[in-house]
């Protein structure tokens, strides 16, 4: 197939591009500027990428504008809509994030419909699934929806996914949605996720104490694989799939790094940051305020549906964390490199 991947320069987008090329598809990736194309080609074609990038091309399009999207989807059989704004902190205006996420998704879906694209897969997030009041011990599944989202990013993912399903219902779009939890794994470049950043900060001693946070996690390579499976399996149409390999707290991640990486992990702190200090810091730090509701909270989540319907088998979180650390070292981003 010829597949359009939006956000091809991002952490997940680049892995989706590389995985589709390995499978033999032709890939057209959107970038916001032509200058980004060479960097993406270099990242995707590196040692961890496919053997050839001959099937890769680029087109310029931005989620905030109509220009470029008709040309982007022209001649494509399928679309992976991966791009979405991810702010470094809480924005002053929530709609600065919500608007581009919702309207950008609808721009892509409209262009795909008008071009006769057969299959569309949209990347949503666990943010659209797991935020709100639930009974203790509740295990999150695909029929769950966030009902009390906090923060502009979480709201943006919920609103954008709701808009996508509404569009698909009105226009008969063959839509699938993927809802990943926290994504980590080996970056192809220095563009990577918040969860990879956490690993980098731990190893470089930039987190002297760890708040009581626990995350659902999944490897970026497995999320890319799930997207590709959803593109080709008829059973995926009209379904959403949670991508999660398991749960892990920050203190357990720190313990794993210390146990497995030797001198490279000597700066990793295993001290716990008291909840009271986090709440105190939250009075002056919007970023700290965002994590207060998550202190000590676990959100058990299952990927049974993806495993059963699409035969998806994610790697272990331990493997993902260690592979993440190794790649960060190879990119020259650790103060003490990992010695093999």
DSSP 73-90: HTT-SEEEE------SS-
Catalytic residue among 28, 157, 221, 267: 157
Tokens encoding 292? 């207060």
Residue 260 token pair: 């497995």
* Centroid of chain to Cα 62: 19
Whole-number Cα distances in Å, 207 to 198, 202, 251, 317, 333: 8, 6, 11, 21, 16
Q: Is 7 left (phi over 0), alpha (psi -120 to 50) or beta?
A: left
C-alpha to C-alpha distance for 253 and 272, rounded to whole angstroms: 13
Longest dimension (CA), the chain: 57
Q: How far apart are CA 334 and CA 207, in angstroms?
A: 14
Helix 250-260 with 317-330: angle, nearest 10 deg: 60
Report whether 314 contacts 222 (CB < 8 A).
yes
Any catalytic annotation for residue 157? Answer: yes
What sign for the dihedral angle of Cα 103, 236, 120, 245?
positive
Give, in order, the Cα–Cα distances in Å from 125 to each of 145, 157, 240.
11, 6, 10
Catalytic sites, residue numbers: 157
């Amino acid at each position: 197939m010829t597949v359009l991947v939006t956000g091809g320069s991002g952490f997940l987008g680049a892995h989706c591009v590389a995985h589709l090329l390995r499978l033999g598809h032709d890939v057209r990736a959107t970038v916001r500027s032509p200058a980004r194309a060479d960097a993406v080609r270099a990242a995707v074609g590196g040692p961890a990428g496919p053997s050839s990038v001959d099937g890769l091309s680029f087109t310029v399009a931005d989620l905030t504008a109509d220009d470029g999207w008709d040309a982007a989807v022209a001649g494509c059989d399928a679309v992976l809509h991966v791009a979405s704004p991810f702010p470094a902190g809480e924005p002053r205006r929530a709609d600065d994030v919500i608007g581009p996420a919702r309207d950008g998704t609808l721009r892509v879906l409209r262009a795909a419909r008008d071009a006769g694209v057969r299959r569309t897969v949209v990347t949503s997030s666990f943010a659209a699934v797991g935020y709100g009041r639930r009974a203790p011990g509740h295990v999150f599944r695909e029929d769950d929806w966030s009902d009390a989202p906090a923060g502009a990013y979480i709201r943006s993912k919920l609103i954008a996914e709701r808009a996508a399903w509404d569009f698909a219902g009105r226009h008969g779009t063959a839509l699938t949605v993927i809802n990943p939890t926290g994504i980590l794994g080996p970056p192809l470049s220095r563009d990577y996720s918040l969860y990879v950043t956490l690993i980098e900060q731990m190893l470089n001693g930039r987190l002297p104490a760890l708040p009581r946070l626990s995350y659902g996690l999944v490897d970026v390579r497995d999320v890319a694989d799930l997207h590709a499976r959803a593109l080709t399996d008829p059973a995926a149409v009209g379904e959403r799939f949670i991508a999660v390999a398991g749960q892990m707290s920050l203190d357990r991640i720190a313990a794993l790094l210390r146990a497995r990486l030797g001198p490279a992990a000597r700066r990793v702190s295993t001290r716990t940051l008291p909840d009271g200090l986090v709440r105190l810091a939250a009075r002056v730090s919007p970023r700290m305020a965002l994590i207060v509701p998550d202190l000590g909270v676990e959100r058990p989540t299952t990927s049974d549906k993806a495993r059963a319907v699409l035969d998806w088998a994610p790697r272990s979180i331990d493997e993902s964390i260690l592979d993440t650390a190794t790649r960060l070292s190879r990119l020259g981003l650790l103060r003490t490199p990992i010695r093999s």
